[in-house]
């Protein structure tokens, strides 16, 4: 039975590989495309299957939001995880840690699930620097991405800025997209 399930799972995943291409997105592009942008802390995590795919679910206690419905809590999913002895992983997917605080750029898919926009591009880890200022940072994604303008492969770059500066850039991007 386990072999049959594994065979079905591998066959289903074989069709997903070639379709996965990460597009390099600027902060402004992510703000425009996101259906929600929130700041929050991960309070719980678990894995569940939906069809042949395993998703890691994260419950977020929302402390601030820039875009989307206002809620004190929300659930976000990331493809991949471990369930019932089976492990799935996908290139470019972020790993969030329970207890950590993030700024997340999100989109709601046709399935009704809320995903992180651009995988790791849409996750900014919040930490205090030596001066006590909150800093939002994301590492460069290790995967090669496509430049949306040229369609050529490009490498990602890390991004680190004070939370106040991230807030200003998000608000400016949202105001520009509203025009």
Dist. CA 43–CA 7, nearest whole Å: 34
pLDDT in tens, the chain (179 residues): 444 333 333 334 443 443 456 788 999 999 999 999 999 999 999 999 999 999 999 999 999 999 999 999 999 999 999 999 999 999 889 999 999 999 999 999 998 999 999 999 999 999 999 999 999 999 988 888 888 888 899 888 899 999 999 999 999 999 998 88
Q: Please answer whether residues 136 and 147 qualify as being in contact, where contact means their C-beta atoms are separated by less than 8 angstroms.
A: no
Query: What is the distance between the alpha carbons of residues 7 and 169, in angstroms, rounded to a whole number?
Result: 46
Distances (CA, A) of 143 to 27, 116, 156, 178: 18, 16, 8, 32
CB neighbours of 92 closer than 8 A, spacing ≥ 6?
Answer: 20, 22, 119, 120, 141, 143
Count of domains forming the chain: 1
- State which residues form the domain around 153: 25-178
Task: Flag whether 139 is in a domain.
Answer: yes
How much is the pLDDT for 20?
Answer: 55
CATH of the domain at 165: 2.40.50
- The pLDDT, as a whole number, for residue 144 is 85
Please report whether residue 56 resides in a domain. yes
User: Given this model, what pLDDT does residue 11 score?
Assistant: 38
- Answer whether residue 115 is part of any domain: yes
Between CA 49 and CA 153 the distance in angstroms is: 32
Position 6 in a domain: no
In this predicted structure, what is the pLDDT of residue 113? 95
What is the CB-side half-sphere exposure of residue 134 using CA atoms within 13 A?
A: 13
Query: Does residue 16 belong to any structural domain of this protein?
Result: no
- The pLDDT of residue 45: 98
Of the candidates 66, 29, 36, the one whose C-alpha atom is nearest the C-alpha of residue 147 is: 29
């Amino acid at each position: 039975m386990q072999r049959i399930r594994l065979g079905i799972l591998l066959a289903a995943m074989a069709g997903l590989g070639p379709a996965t291409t990460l597009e390099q997105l600027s902060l402004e592009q992510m703000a425009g495309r996101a259906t929600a942008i929130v700041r929050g802390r991960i309070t719980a995590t678990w894995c569940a299957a939906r069809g042949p795919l395993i998703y890691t679910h994260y419950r977020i206690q929302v402390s601030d939001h820039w875009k989307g419905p206002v809620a004190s809590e929300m659930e976000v999913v990331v493809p991949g995880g471990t369930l019932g002895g089976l492990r799935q992983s996908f290139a470019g997917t972020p790993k969030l840690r329970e207890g950590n605080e993030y700024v997340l750029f999100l989109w709601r898919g046709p399935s009704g699930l809320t995903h992180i926009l651009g995988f790791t591009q849409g996750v900014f880890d919040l930490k205090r620097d030596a001066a006590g200022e909150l800093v939002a940072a994301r590492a460069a994604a290790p995967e090669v991405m496509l430049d949306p303008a040229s369609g050529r492969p490009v490498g990602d770059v890390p991004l680190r800025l004070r939370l106040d500066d991230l807030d200003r850039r998000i608000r400016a991007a949202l105001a520009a997209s509203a025009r």
